[in-house]
C-alpha cells in the first residue's frame, strides 16, 4: 500500500499535476483557415494529456481574397512572352548591325538621312538606357577603383595611339598609301573612348557599366588637351580644339542622359519598369543606324581599291587594340576576382573610340578629304566588331554559368 502510494505520488510529481485536483481542460486553439472542401478534422495534439485535442478547420471559399491567385489567362501569357522577347533584343544587335552595314553599301540612300546632327541625341539615348538600369551607388563605387580607371586610361591614350602610329607606318611605308591615310589612322587612334563602349560593357557585364562610363567620360574630358598633344607628337599636326564645344558635347551626350535615367530610376520606379522592356529594341535600332550611316556617306570611296586597303588596315588596327586591352588588363589584374569582367571592359575601352569625333576633326581641320576615310570606316567596323564580341562573350558567360 505504501509503495503504491509512493508511485502514485511520483507519477503526479513527474507531470507537475496536483494530487487530488482534476486536470484542467486545454484551451481551445483558434480555427485554421484552409482553401479546401472538407469539414472539421480532429488532430492528435502532442501537447494533450490522455485525450485528443480537436482543431477545427474552416474552409475558405474559392472566391475569397485569401485564396490562391488565379492562373494567368492566355492574353496575359502572350503579353509576358512579348515582354521577354523585347528584353532579349540585345542578342540580335550584331545581326542588325551587319544588316545596317550591308544596307549602307547596297542602298546608301536609305541611311543618308541620318546626318551628323542626329548623332548626339542618338548616343544620348543609349546613355539614358544605361542610366535607367543603374543607380548612383554604382558610380560612387566606380570612382573607388583608381587602378582600373588608370589602366583603362593607359590603354586609351598610350597603347591605342602607339598602335595607330604603327599602322600609319605600315600604310605609308609598306603599302605605299598617301601620307594623309596614315594621318587619318593616327587621328582615329588619338581620340577619346566611344560612348558605345559603355553600352557594349553594359550588355556584357552590367555591373561594370558605371566603371566603363567613368573611364569614357574621363578620357573624353581630357581629350581636349591630350588629343592635340598626341597628334603634334606623332604626325606634327597642330589642331585647334574647341574646348567649350567638347565640354558641351560631353554634357549633352553623357552627363545629362545618365543623370535623367538615374533620377527616373530613383524616384519613378513604376515608369522605369514600364519603359525598360522597350529600351533594348530601340537601343539596337539606334546603334545600328549610328554604325551604318557614316558608311553610307563614303560608300563610293569604300568600293575603290584604296578604300578596300584602308578597310583592312582599320580592321587590323581595331582587332589589335581589342587584343592589347584584353592582355594588358589580364596582366595587371591577374589576381583579381573580377579578372575576366575587367578584361572585357578594358578591351572595349581600348578597342572602341569616338570615331565620330575623329570624323568631325578630319572634316574641320584637314583639307584633304582622304583623311576622313579611316574615321568613316572605323565608325562602322568598330561598332560591328565590338558588338560581335558582346555576342561571343555573353554566350560564353552563359555557358560558364551552366
pLDDT tens digits, residue range 240-260?
Answer: 556 566 567 667 777 788 888
The pLDDT, as a whole number, for residue 80 is 52
- Please check whether residue 36 lies inside any domain of the structure: no
- Please check whether residue 31 lies inside any domain of the structure: no
The pLDDT, as a whole number, for residue 7 is 47
Which helix (H) or strand (E) segment holds residue 67: the answer is none
Nearest to 291 by CA among 117, 131, 94: 94
Q: Supply φ then ψ for residue 191, to 5 degrees.
A: -85, 175
The pLDDT, as a whole number, for residue 314 is 93
**192 Cβ contact list (under 8 Å, min separation 6):** 156, 216, 219, 220, 222, 223, 226, 227, 353, 354, 357
- Please check whether residue 56 lies inside any domain of the structure: no
CB neighbourhood size of 37 (10 A): 7
- Please check whether residue 339 lies inside any domain of the structure: yes
The pLDDT, as a whole number, for residue 154 is 93
The pLDDT, as a whole number, for residue 41 is 42
Give the integer Cα–Cα distance in Å for 207 and 193: 19
Q: What are the beta bridge partners of residue 59?
A: 34
Q: What is the CATH number of the domain that holds 351?
A: 1.20.1530.20
The pLDDT, as a whole number, for residue 140 is 78
The CA-based diameter of the chain, rounded to the nearest angstrom, is 126
Which alpha helices (DSSP H) does 64-208 contain, by range? 74-87, 93-106, 119-132, 136-142, 146-154, 160-169, 179-190, 195-204
State whether residue 54 is helix, strand or coil. Answer: strand
The conformation of residue 40, written as its DSSP 8-state character, comes to -
CB 223 within 8 Å of CB 192? yes
The pLDDT, as a whole number, for residue 337 is 84
- Please check whether residue 23 lies inside any domain of the structure: no
CB 231 within 8 Å of CB 162? no
Number of structural domains the chain divides into: 1
- Please check whether residue 245 lies inside any domain of the structure: yes
The pLDDT, as a whole number, for residue 51 is 43
- Please check whether residue 106 lies inside any domain of the structure: no
- Please check whether residue 389 lies inside any domain of the structure: yes
The pLDDT, as a whole number, for residue 353 is 85
Which stretches of the chain drop beneath a pLDDT of 50? 1-2, 6-7, 9-17, 19, 32-55, 57-58, 60, 62, 64-66, 78-79, 401-402
The domain in which residue 256 lies consists of 112-394
The pLDDT, as a whole number, for residue 232 is 83
Amino acid at each position: 500500500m505504501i509503495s503504491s502510494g509512493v508511485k502514485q505520488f511520483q507519477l503526479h510529481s513527474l507531470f507537475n499535476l496536483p494530487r487530488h485536483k482534476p486536470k484542467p481542460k486545454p484551451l481551445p486553439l483558434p480555427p485554421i483557415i484552409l482553401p479546401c472542401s472538407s469539414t472539421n478534422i480532429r488532430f492528435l495534439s502532442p501537447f494533450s494529456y490522455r485525450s485528443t485535442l480537436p482543431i477545427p478547420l474552416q474552409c475558405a471559399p474559392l472566391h475569397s481574397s485569401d485564396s490562391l491567385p488565379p492562373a494567368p489567362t492566355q492574353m496575359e501569357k502572350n503579353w509576358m512572352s512579348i515582354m521577354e522577347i523585347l528584353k532579349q533584343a540585345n542578342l540580335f544587335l550584331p545581326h542588325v548591325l551587319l544588316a545596317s552595314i550591308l544596307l549602307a553599301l547596297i542602298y546608301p540612300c536609305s541611311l543618308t538621312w541620318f546626318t551628323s546632327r542626329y548623332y548626339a541625341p542618338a548616343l544620348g539615348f543609349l546613355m539614358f538606357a544605361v542610366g535607367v538600369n543603374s543607380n548612383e551607388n554604382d558610380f560612387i563605387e566606380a570612382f573607388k577603383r583608381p587602378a582600373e580607371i588608370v589602366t583603362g586610361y593607359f590603354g586609351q591614350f598610350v597603347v591605342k595611339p602607339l598602335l595607330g602610329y604603327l599602322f600609319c607606318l605600315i600604310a605609308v611605308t609598306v603599302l605605299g598609301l598617301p601620307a594623309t591615310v596614315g594621318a587619318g589612322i593616327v587621328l582615329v587612334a588619338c581620340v577619346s573612348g566611344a560612348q558605345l563602349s559603355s553600352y557594349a560593357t553594359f550588355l556584357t557585364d552590367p555591373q561594370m557599366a558605371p566603371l566603363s562610363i567613368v573611364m569614357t567620360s574621363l578620357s573624353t574630358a581630357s581629350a581636349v588637351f591630350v588629343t592635340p598633344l598626341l597628334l603634334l607628337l606623332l604626325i606634327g599636326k597642330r589642331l585647334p580644339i574647341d574646348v567649350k564645344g567638347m565640354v558641351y558635347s560631353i554634357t549633352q551626350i553623357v552627363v545629362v542622359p545618365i543623370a535623367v535615367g538615374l533620377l527616373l530610376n530613383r524616384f519613378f520606379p513604376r515608369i522605369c519598369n514600364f519603359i525598360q522592356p522597350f529600351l533594348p529594341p530601340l537601343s539596337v535600332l539606334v546603334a545600328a543606324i549610328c554604325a551604318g550611316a557614316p558608311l553610307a556617306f563614303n560608300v563610293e570611296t569604300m568600293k575603290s581599291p584604296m578604300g578596300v586597303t584602308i578597310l583592312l588596315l582599320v580592321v587590323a588596327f581595331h582587332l589589335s587594340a581589342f587584343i592589347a586591352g584584353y592582355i594588358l588588363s589580364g596582366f595587371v589584374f591577374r589576381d583579381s576576382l573580377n579578372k575576366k569582367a575587367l578584361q572585357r571592359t578594358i578591351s572595349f575601352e581600348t578597342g572602341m573610340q569616338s570615331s565620330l569625333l575623329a570624323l568631325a576633326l578630319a572634316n574641320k581641320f584637314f583639307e584633304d578629304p582622304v583623311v576622313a576615310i579611316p574615321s568613316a570606316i572605323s565608325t562602322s567596323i568598330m561598332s560591328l566588331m565590338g558588338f560581335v564580341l558582346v555576342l561571343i562573350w555573353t554566350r560564353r558567360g552563359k555557358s560558364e554559368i551552366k
